[in-house]
Amino acid sequence: MTTRKALFRKARRLEASVRTLVVANDVRRWSGTARSVPAWDDRNRMIGQLIPPGVSVLDVGSGAQTLRAHLPPTCQYQAADLIPGPGVLRCDLNHGKLPQIRARFDYVVLSGVLEYITKPVAAIQGLRPLAAHLIVSYAVRRPDDSRVARLAMGWRNHLTRAELLALLDGLDLPRWCLGTWHGQEVYYVYLDGVCDTAAGPQETTAPGVEMSDIDEWIQEGREAVEQRNAANDSLKRLRPLLLALRQAEKVSPEQEEAIEGLFPQPSAAEQSRK
């Protein structure tokens, strides 16, 4: 039975992969998403906290429009999606159909959208007339990710982190990483091409330093602290033994010098301060 279930799951995954290859937009799936709070709503909450008050926001691929609730109350929100609905601007990035807007927005958001786009570079370039600032998330392809698994998710492109950064840098637009959500990286891109830090969200790290770099340094620091604490414990245990051997003249001159280096005697001035 277990083998049969595994084969069934594999067949369903292959079916979903083929569907992604032949169907540009999974309208059935997105129709369901537009009616309920998605499992990835925390990503929208994170993005909402990155957007400053008092700006206008175009949410492309808005789904259930949960980003609206996470924005500062003074923001103006506009939904745009493949699935029609009250007040929703129609758009289809896979077919080059952009939302028809009356005035340019301050921000455009692609939250969990770029993976589903066949031509991500063209999609981002197409957004430039719509807003000055872009916040975009992306689930990069990890070394152990298979193409079939990503296709089964409905993802139509499969960029590694290096390829994603090369894509963003190739646009020749200022960008930086604002953070991560469940391994997905969230980027800010200034679509007007000249960095405007006053209007954009606050950086969470210096330009050129990625969040993954900081995580790696933190881990190195933790390991160093653990090693230091272990070394301090060892020194505490060894100190009375080695000092006693030195006092009993059971050590060689070289060993005595080494012990003195480990446990230097306080100077007269230091003793007086005590």
What pLDDT sits at residue 193?
A: 80
Q: What percent of the chain has pLDDT above 70?
A: 61
Q: Where are the alpha helices (DSSP H) in 159-206?
A: 161-170
Average pLDDT over residues 62-71: 92
Map out the domains of the chain with their CATH numbers: 2-205 (3.40.50.150), 217-273 (no CATH)
Helix (H, G, I), strand (E, B) or coil at 264: coil
Average pLDDT over residues 37-42: 75
Confidence of residue 137 (pLDDT cuts 50, 70, 90): very high
Q: Phi first, then psi: what are they for 173, rounded to 5°? A: -125, 140
Burial class of residue 126 in the structure, from the number of CB atoms within 10 Å of its CB (0-12 exposed, 13-18 middle, 19+ buried): middle
What is the full DSSP assignment across 25-36?
--HHHHHHHTTS
Average pLDDT over residues 122-139: 94
Token representation of residue 135: 């916040």
Average pLDDT over residues 160-164: 92
136 vs 147 pLDDT, higher one: 136
Distance CA 147, CA 107 (A): 32
What is this structure's pTM?
0.63
Token representation of residue 246: 């030195």
Please give the helix or strand (H or E) that residue 94 lies within, else none: none
Count of helix runs (H) and strand runs (E) in the chain: 10, 7
The pLDDT tens digits of the residues spanning 201-247 come to 543 333 344 455 555 656 666 666 667 666 666 666 666 776 777 67
Residue 174's closest CA among 204, 140, 208, 205?
208
Token representation of residue 195: 């960095």
Token representation of residue 239: 């100190």
Distance CA 176, CA 209 (A): 9
Tell me how crowded residue 177 is: count the other CB atoms within 10 A of its CB: 21
What pLDDT sits at residue 208?
A: 40
Assess whether pLDDT exceeds 90 at residue 101: yes
Residue 179's closest CA among 155, 201, 157?
201
Average pLDDT score over the chain: 77
Assess whether pLDDT exceeds 70 at residue 131: yes
